[in-house]
């Protein structure tokens, strides 16, 4: 028998490409604007002596700052290395039942990877013909629930009332709401953590706060939920958040005006691009996120994807499931970047 028989073999998540050369990068939902200049200043002023010591296990001033900003207790706050880290830890902590966990059939493609890694049974719940999540489909028996709001890659947001209905129908499961894109136009259910002790709300600095490279994700939940999450985290690696990232993240959190202006710009660009895409015969769900999930009425997605790439414009395409095979996920860049995309599309489609 080979040692390979005992290897935990997994099919990993495949992230969008990070090209070395300069391209118009609309493939990984990054923010096209830099973080606040206050982040630069905080890093310039950073006292390197702080690097001698292990960092605070609860992300120090960043954890405390988040609790203050979102009006929750520090004990209701959890910080991780991007929301992927937070979600992976949450899957490991809360999904430990023989019953399948539920998540939408078309959603963030990391969920089934974690479920497989941790041997968690799962069921991908069908959506309606317009990619809408039907709340009633989440009322049956299950081992846990995870729903992104807005959903990825569709960009569709769900009403907080509908999300609350799902939570209310599931007192025996942990319900994770992945709000990676919530700042771009959905309503957060964060206030509900004081009402439901089985609700975990997960957010990130990667999209609306322009800091995908810093890897900051956070979760909010009842004290009990956060304690369980920390117990698992402290059983793997207590020091996930390094002090440089804590410093940078806190500075970004403190510049609320800049954050809101940036989000507003991206939303305005998104709404303008929706009109341009419609005029070019694209159809798409009404995105409330920083991307548009679009299909052309006659030209296959792969043809557009490849031609755009030739022009140095990177978009994201998912081969599976088949139902979304003809869609492209287009991240919202700067106005200039989106103009280049629209110009390319006009040329390619012969308009």
- Residue 126 tokens read as 């069908």
Q: 280 burial class (0-12, 13-18, 19+ CB within 10 angstroms)?
A: middle
**Looking at beta carbons only, is 333 or 344 nearer to ligand PMP?**
333
**Bridge partners (DSSP) listed for residue 80:** 217
Q: What is the CA radius of gyration of the chain?
A: 21
Q: What residue is closest to ligand PMP based on CB?
A: 82
Distance between CA atoms of residues 309 and 23, nearest Å: 9
Q: 242 burial class (0-12, 13-18, 19+ CB within 10 angstroms)?
A: middle
Q: Smallest distance from the beta carbon of 269 to ligand PMP, in angstroms?
A: 19
Q: Smallest distance from the beta carbon of 106 to ligand PMP, in angstroms?
A: 12
**Looking at beta carbons only, is 16 or 160 nearer to ligand PMP?**
16
**Looking at beta carbons only, is 162 or 179 nearer to ligand PMP?**
179
Q: Smallest distance from the beta carbon of 346 to ligand PMP, in angstroms?
A: 29
With beta carbons less than 8 A apart as the criterion, state whether 165 and 320 touch: no
- Residue ranges that bind ligand PMP, judged by CB under 6 A: 82-84, 108, 148, 152, 178, 180, 204, 206, 212, 217
Q: Is 210 left (phi over 0), alpha (psi -120 to 50) or beta?
A: left
Q: Smallest distance from the beta carbon of 303 to ligand PMP, in angstroms?
A: 25
Q: Smallest distance from the beta carbon of 1 to ligand PMP, in angstroms?
A: 37
Question: DSSP secondary-structure letter at 192?
Answer: G
**Looking at beta carbons only, is 266 or 345 nearer to ligand PMP?**
266
Q: Smallest distance from the beta carbon of 211 to ligand PMP, in angstroms?
A: 9
**Looking at beta carbons only, is 142 or 206 nearer to ligand PMP?**
206
Question: DSSP secondary-structure letter at 55?
Answer: P
**Looking at beta carbons only, is 16 or 312 nearer to ligand PMP?**
16
Around 312, how many Cα atoms within 13 Å sit in the side-chain half-sphere?
Answer: 7
SS3 label, residue 314? strand
The pair phi, psi for residue 235, each rounded to 5°, is -90, -5
């Amino acid at each position: 028998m080979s040692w390979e028989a005992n290897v935990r073999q997994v099919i990993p998540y495949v992230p969008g490409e990070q090209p070395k050369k300069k391209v118009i990068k609309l493939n990984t939902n990054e923010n096209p604007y830099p973080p606040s200049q206050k982040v630069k200043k905080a890093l310039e002023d950073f006292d390197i002596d702080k690097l001698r010591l292990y960092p605070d296990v609860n992300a120090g001033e960043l954890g405390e700052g988040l609790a203050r900003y979102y009006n929750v207790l520090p004990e209701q706050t959890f910080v991780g290395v991007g929301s992927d880290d937070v979600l992976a830890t949450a899957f490991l902590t809360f999904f430990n039942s023989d019953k399948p966990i539920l998540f939408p059939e078309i959603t963030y493609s990391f969920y089934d990877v974690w479920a497989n890694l941790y041997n968690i049974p799962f069921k991908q719940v069908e959506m309606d013909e317009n990619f809408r999540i039907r709340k009633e489909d989440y009322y049956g028996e299950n081992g846990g629930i995870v729903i992104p709001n807005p959903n990825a890659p569709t960009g569709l947001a769900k009403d907080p009332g509908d999300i609350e209905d799902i939570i209310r129908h599931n007192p025996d499961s942990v319900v994770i709401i992945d709000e990676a894109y919530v700042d771009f136009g959905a309503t957060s259910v964060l206030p509900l953590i004081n009402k439901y002790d089985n609700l975990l709300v997960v957010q990130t600095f990667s999209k609306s706060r322009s800091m995908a490279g810093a890897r900051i994700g956070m979760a909010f939940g009842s004290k009990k939920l956060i304690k369980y999450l920390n117990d698992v985290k402290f059983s793997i690696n207590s020091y996930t958040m390094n002090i440089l990232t804590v410093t940078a993240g806190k500075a970004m959190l403190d510049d609320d005006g800049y954050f809101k202006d940036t989000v507003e710009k991206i939303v305005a660009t998104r709404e303008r691009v929706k009109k341009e895409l419609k005029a070019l015969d694209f159809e798409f769900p009404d995105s409330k996120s920083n991307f548009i999930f679009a299909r052309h009425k006659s030209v296959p997605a792969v043809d557009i994807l490849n031609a755009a790439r030739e022009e140095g414009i990177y978009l994201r395409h998912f081969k599976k499931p088949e139902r979304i095979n003809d869609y492209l996920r287009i991240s919202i860049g700067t106005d200039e970047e989106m103009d280049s995309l629209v110009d390319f599309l006009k040329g390619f489609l012969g308009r």
